[in-house]
Structure 1
Amino acid sequence: MKQYDYLIVGSGLFGSTLAYRAQQIGKRCLVIDKRSHIGGNVYCESIEGINVHKYGAHIFHTSNKEVWNFVNSIVEFNRYTNSPVANYKGQLYNLPFNMNTFYQMWGVKTPEEAEGKLEEQRAEAKARMNGREPQNLEEQAQLLIGKDIYETLIKGYTEKQWGRECTELPAFIIKRLPVRMVFDNNYFNDKYQGIPVGGYNKLIEGLLDGTEVRLNTDFFSLGDWRDIAEKLVYTGPLDEYFNYKLGRLQYRTVSFETTVEDTANYQGNAVVNYTEREIPYTRVIEHKHFEMFGQEVYDCQKTVISKEYSTEWKPGMEPYYPVNDERNNNLAEQYRQLAAKERNVIFGGRLAEYKYYDMAPIIEHALTVQL
C-alpha cells in the first residue's frame, strides 16, 4: 500500500482545490511545491501591512454561483470591483470601452452619438481594406473599434504585451472587443466579484488545512512518483512532464518592479494601464486598493506599487501566458495526446493544460474532476 492516495504537484488554485476535495472524502494527500511558499501565482506578500500580489493583480470574478459559494465557504470575499484606468500621454480614460471612454475620447454624451462615431470610424477601416479580410491585429482592431481608440488604448499596450508590432500579430488574437453603451466602469460582466478578506493566502491556507505540504520540493527530483502515491495530480508545465521530448512550448512572461512609496494614495486606483509604447511597463498596480476602502486607505500611511513589464520568455523564467500561435497550439495538442495515455494522472491548470485560465474556471474545473 502506498503512503498517499494522491501526490499533488503544485499548491496553486487547481492543486489546492483538488487537495481539499480529496481530504473531504478521506484521501491521504501530499502536496509539493518547488517554491518556498504555497499558492502559486495568487500568493500575496505582506509589505507595510499591505497584501501585495507578488505575481500580478488577481481579481476573482465569476457568474457561477456554485464556485462563488465554494470560495466564500473557505474565506469571506470583499466587495472589490475592478475598474481600471488607462493613461495615454497623461490623459486618463476609463476601461472597458464604455460611455465614459467615448465621452473622454470624442466628447459624445449619448449612446446614439457614440454609435455614430464608432460606425464612422469602422467604415473608414473597411474602406482602407477595400473589401478584403483583416490581415493582422491592427486591421482587425480598427474594424472593431476604429482608429482613435485603437491608436490610443490598444496599439502601444498590445505591442508591449507581445513584444512585436500589431501589424505582425495575427488578426485572431483580437476577435472581439467589449463595447458598452452605458456609463459603467466595471470591467467584468460577471455577477460575483471580489478579493478574499485578508488576501489570497487565506484562501489557499483554508483549502490546504489538514493536508501535508512540502515546499522547496522539486517533483522531478523525487524519482518515480508511483512509489509514493496511487495517483498523481500534476499542475506543472506540460512539456516538462514529458522531458520536452517533442520540443519546448513557448510563453510570454512578466516581471515586476515593486516599491514602497511614502504616501497614502499613489494613483487612486488599483490598476492603471499605460498604453503608449514609449513607457516600458504595461501597468502600475497599487495593491492597497484591492482591500482598503475609504478612510482605510489613509489610515495606512504608506503604499506599495508594482510596475509590470511584459517580456519574451526564456527557459528558467516563470512562464505566464501561452503563446497561442499555430506552432505552439499544434505542439500542445501532441503533448495532450501523450497526457491522455498516462494512467492515474490528472493534468490540470494553466501550465499543465497550456491554456490561459482565469481563477474561477480553474476552481470550477477542479471541482468537477473525477477523483
Structure 2
Amino acid sequence: MKKYDYIIVGAGLYGAGFAYRAKKVGKKCLVIDRRPHIGGNIYCENIEGINVHKYGAHIFHTSNKEVWDFVNSIVEFNRYTNSPVANYKGEYFNLPFNMNTFYQMWGTRTPAEAKAKIDEQKADAVAKMKLEGIDEPRNLEEQAIALIGVDIYEKLIKGYTEKQWGRPCTDIPAFIIKRLPVRFVYDNNYFRDAYQGIPKGGYNKLIEGLIKGVEVMCNVDFLQDKAKYEALGEKIVFTGAIDEFYGFQYGKLAYRTINFDHEVHETTNYQGNAVVNYTEKKVPYTRIIEHKHFEMFGDEVDACPKTIISKEFSTEWKDGMEPYYPINDAYNNALYQKYKALADTDQQYIFGGRLAEYKYYDMAPILEQVLKIEIF
C-alpha cells in the first residue's frame, strides 16, 4: 500500500477542491505546488491592508446554487457586483453593452431608439459586405460590425481586442466573436449569473479552507522528481501543463499571457471602480484593476489611506512566463488532442484544470467538475 491515496499536483482551485472532497471521504492526500504559495492564480497578496489579486482579477460568479452554497460553506462571500467601465480617449462607457452605453455613445434614451441606431449601422455593414461579394464575415472585424455596428466596434472592441490578441482584428477568426452581450435595459451588471461576489478576506481564505487538514508542500516541482511521487501515491491528480508533462514531445501549446505592473498610490480612491478597460490601441495596457473595490465599499474605501492598482499588458507567451489563455485555434486544439490521447491511457493519473485540459475555465465550472468527480 502506498503512503498516499492521492498526490495532487497544483494547489490552485482544482487541486484544493479535489483535496477537500478526497479528505471528506477519508482519503490521505498530499498537495504539492512549484510556487512558494498555495492558491494558484487566485492567490492574493496583502499589501497596505488590501488583498491584491496577484495574477489578475478574479470574480466568482455562478447560477449553480450547489456551487454557491459550497463555496459559502468554506468562507462567506461579499456582495461585489462586477460593473466594468471602458475608457476610450477619455470618454467613459458602461459595460457590458446596455442602455447606459448606448446613451453615452449616441444619446439614445429608449430601447427603440438604440435598436434603430444599431440596426442602421448593422444594415450598412452588411450591405457593404454584399457589395464586395462577401456572404459571411471573414474575420472578427467584419463579424463585430455586422453584429453591433461601426461606432461600438471602433471605440470599444477594436483596440482592446487587438491588444488582447496581439494581432489585427482582420487577422482574428470571426468565430471568436459570434455573439456579443447586448442589453436593451439600463443594467451595468456584467454577469447574468444569479450569484457573484468575492470571499470576505480574499481568495486565500477559500483555498485555506479547502485544504485545511491536508498535507501541503510548496516550492516543489513534481516533474523534477516524478518517479518519487508516483511511488508515493495510488493516484495522481495533475493540474499543470499537459504538454510539459509529456516533455513537449509533440510541440508546445500556445498561450497568451499577461504582465502586471502593480503600483501603490497615496490616495484613497484612484479610479472609482474595480475594473476600467482601456480600449484605445495606443494605450499599451488593456485595463487597470483597483483592488480595494473588490472588498471595500462606502466608508471603508476612504478609511484605507492607500490604494493598489494593477495595469495589465497582454502579450504572447514565451518560456518562463505564466501561461494564462489557451489559443484554442484549430492547430493548437489538434495538438492538445494528441496529448490527451496519451493522458487517456494513463490509469494512475487524473488530468484536470485549465492547463491540463488546455481550456479556459472560470472558477465556478472548475468547482462544478470537482464536485462531480468520483473519488476512488
Q: How does the TM-score come out when normalised to structure 1?
A: 0.99
The residue that corresponds to 1:267 in the other structure is: 271
CA RMSD of aligned residues (A): 0.6
Deviation at 1:164, TM superposition (A): 0.6
Equivalent pairs: percent with the same residue? Answer: 69
- Which residue does 2:182 correspond to in 1? 179
Moved more, 324-333 or 97-106: 324-333
Q: Could you tell me which amino acid in structure 2 is paired with residue 290 of structure 1?
A: F
Shift of 1:80: 0.1
SS of 1:244's equivalent?
Answer: coil
- How far the C-alpha of 1:370 sits from its partner, in A, is 1.3
**What's 1:109 paired with?**
109
- Structure 1: 4+ residue segments shifted above 3 A: none
Deviation for aligned residue 1:226: 2.3
- Which position in structure 1 is the counterpart of 2:59? 59
Aligned match of 2:323 = 319
Q: CA-to-partner distance for each residue in 1:58-117, whole Å, 9 max, x for gaps? A: 000000000000000000000000000000000000000000000000000000000000
Cα distance in 1, alignment partners of residues 258 and 82 from structure 2? 20
Query: Separation in 2 of the partners of 1:12 and 1:312?
Result: 23
Match in the other structure for 1:308: 312
The residue number in structure 1 matching 2:242 is 238
Measured after TM superposition, the shift of residue 357 of structure 1 is 0.3
Once the 2 structures are TM-superposed, how far is the Cα of residue 221 of structure 1 from its aligned partner? 1.6
Q: Separation in 1 of the partners of 2:105 and 2:205?
A: 41
Deviation, 1:344, is 2.4
Structure 1 counterpart of 2:291: 287
CA distance in 2, matches of 1:336, 1:187: 34
For residues 21-56 of structure 1, the C-alpha deviation after alignment (integer angstroms, 9 at most, x for no partner) is 000011010000000000000000000000000000
Q: Are residue 220 (structure 1) and residue 223 (structure 2) matched? A: yes
- 1:82 aligned residue: 82
The answer as to 2:138 corresponding to 1:135 is yes
Structure 2 match to 1:207: 210
Match of 1:344 among 341, 348, 352: 348
CA distance in 1 between partners of 2:231 and 2:37 (Å): 25
Question: What is the alpha-carbon distance in structure 1 between the residues aligned to residue 135 and residue 154 of structure 2?
Answer: 21
Count of residues in correspondence between the two structures? 371
Q: Distance in 1 between matches of 2:350 and 2:31?
A: 14
Distance, in Å, in 2 between the alignment partners of 1:174 and 1:332 is 23
Selected match of 2:162 from 159, 162, 165: 159
Structure 1 alignment gaps of length 5 or more: none
Letter in 1 for 2:151: D
Once the 2 structures are TM-superposed, how far is the Cα of residue 128 of structure 1 from its aligned partner? Answer: 1.4
Query: Where does structure 2 lack aligned partners over 5 or more consecutive residues?
Result: none
TM-superposition CA deviations, 1:302-332 (whole Å, max 9, x none): 0000000000101111000000111101111
Partner of residue 100, structure 1:
100
Distance in 2 between the 1:311 and 1:29 partners?
37
